[in-house]
């Protein structure tokens, strides 16, 4: 294994329910760079654009949380 391979960040699919994933995306929004993110996010569908995929999943996540029907 090369020394470069040791420094590679792990590839993960963005999980909107993971608070760390949301935090890292918030940091990306502020800095417009993934340089300090300890992982590399990958696209899990055919959306084609990582940032758009994450934004759409965040929108759905927060809309569901705010307007979720309460069951008795």
pLDDT of residue 3: 66
pLDDT tens track for 13-68? 999 999 999 999 999 999 999 999 999 999 888 778 999 999 999 999 999 999 98
Sign (positive/negative) of CA torsion 7, 35, 22, 59?
A: negative
Inform me whether the pLDDT recorded for 6 exceeds 90: no
Q: Confidence class of residue 11 from pLDDT cuts 50, 70 and 90?
A: very high
The angle, 0 to 180 degrees and rounded to 10, between the axes of the packed helices 50-67 and 19-31 is: 120
Angle (CA) 33-46-63 rounded to 5° is 70
Quick check: helix, strand or coil at residue 67? Answer: helix
Annotated domain spans of the chain = 3-66
């Amino acid at each position: 294994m090369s020394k470069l391979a040791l420094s590679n960040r792990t590839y993960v699919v963005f999980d909107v329910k993971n608070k760390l994933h949301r935090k890292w995306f918030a940091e990306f929004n502020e800095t417009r760079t993934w340089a300090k993110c300890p992982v590399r996010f990958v696209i899990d569908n055919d959306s084609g654009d990582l940032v758009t995929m994450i934004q759409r999943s965040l929108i759905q996540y927060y809309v569901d949380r705010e307007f979720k029907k309460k069951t008795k």
